């Protein structure tokens, strides 16, 4: 894939939503077309809306705790005897993982669209935990779809989701893991899209969810660019 200068990577897809002609797209049933288009149009407006960006930046700083630290790994640097090794300590973010950036942005989008419910999927549990945190912060009702096998494996994260007031919906179909949780979550969303927003916790799924996740977690790169010039 040949990158174009001056254009964000999340926008460098073709008319069908593919990056490099192979990745992306929106392989969705007809019933999902309208909610996906509505979300696509809303995000297109919000990402350029100064008030929305101001709210995002406010909560990134005062809720998530950005910027996170950028530290030099002296022992590893000395061991390698050449390259300087630095690390962005994203674990300092509220909740302990980068998933909180995407979850917070989705909660803000949900509020901007006037919806009161937010749903999401999770496998290892961190995306669900972060979404339950963001939902609680912004006063949203939350459902997390999770494979039955993953629920058994990830009890601590499940306990955290319930503590935050989220309902965990077990998925017993297929492999009873993440891929099936995503499918069940989308089935629920298409039947409740008038009052419900869907958050996908990773850069997977229809094009718009990849774009939102990439746009949200790009905060880490923005911080890195501003600090690396000072530290190195």
Confidence tier at 64 by pLDDT (50, 70, 90): very high
The CA distances from residue 187 to 60, 99, 191, in Å, are: 31, 23, 7
Confidence tier at 231 by pLDDT (50, 70, 90): low
In a domain, 158, yes or no: yes
Region 79-99 average pLDDT: 92
For the purposes of burial, counting CB atoms within 10 Å of the CB of 231, is it exposed (0-12), middle (13-18) or buried (19 or more)? exposed
In a domain, 224, yes or no: no
pLDDT at 157 over 80: yes
Phi and psi torsions of 219, nearest 5°: -55, -35
- Other beta carbons within 10 Å of 22: 8
Rounded to whole angstroms, how far apart are CA atoms 147 and 180?
7
In a domain, 194, yes or no: yes
pLDDT at 203: 82
Across the strands, what pairs with 18? 24
Half-sphere exposure of 207 (CA within 13 A, CB side): 26
Q: How high does pLDDT run on average in the chain?
A: 93
In a domain, 78, yes or no: no
Q: What is the pTM of this model?
A: 0.93
In a domain, 129, yes or no: yes
In a domain, 92, yes or no: no
Rounded to whole angstroms, how far apart are CA atoms 227 and 121?
33
pLDDT in tens, 107-125: 999 999 999 999 999 999 9
- What is the CATH classification number for the domain harbouring 118? 3.40.50.1100
In a domain, 203, yes or no: yes
For residue 57, what are its two tokens?
Answer: 């930046």
Helix then strand count (H, E) for the chain reads 9, 8
Domain span including residue 127: 38-64+97-217
pLDDT at 228 over 90: no
Helices (H), the chain: 30-46, 50-59, 74-80, 99-112, 126-137, 148-153, 155-163, 178-192, 207-231
Number of domains in the chain: 1
Region 17-40 average pLDDT: 89
In a domain, 206, yes or no: yes
pLDDT at 24 over 70: yes
Across the strands, what pairs with 141? 117
């Amino acid at each position: 894939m040949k990158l174009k200068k001056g254009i964000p990577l999340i926008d460098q897809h073709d008319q069908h939503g593919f990056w490099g002609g192979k990745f992306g797209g929106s392989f969705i049933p007809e019933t999902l077309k309208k909610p996906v288009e509505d979300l696509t149009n809303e995000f297109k407006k919000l990402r350029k809306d100064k008030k929305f960006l101001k709210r995002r930046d406010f909560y990134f700083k005062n809720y998530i705790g950005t910027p996170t630290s950028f530290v030099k790994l002296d022992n590893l640097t000395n061991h390698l005897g050449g390259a300087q090794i630095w690390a962005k300590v994203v674990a300092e973010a509220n909740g302990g993982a980068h998933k909180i950036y995407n979850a917070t942005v989705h909660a803000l989008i949900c509020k901007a669209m006037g919806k009161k419910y937010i749903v999401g999927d999770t496998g290892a549990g961190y995306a669900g935990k972060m979404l339950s945190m963001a939902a609680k912060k912004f006063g949203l009702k939350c459902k997390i779809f999770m494979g039955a096998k993953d629920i058994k494996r990830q009890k601590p994260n499940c306990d955290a989701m319930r503590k935050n007031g989220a309902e965990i919906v077990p998925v017993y179909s297929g492999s009873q893991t993440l891929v099936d949780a995503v499918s069940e979550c989308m089935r629920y969303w298409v039947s409740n899209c008038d009052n419900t927003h869907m958050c996908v916790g990773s850069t997977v799924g229809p094009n718009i969810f990849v774009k939102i996740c990439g746009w949200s977690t790009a905060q880490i790169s923005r911080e890195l660019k501003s600090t690396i010039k000072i530290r190195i």
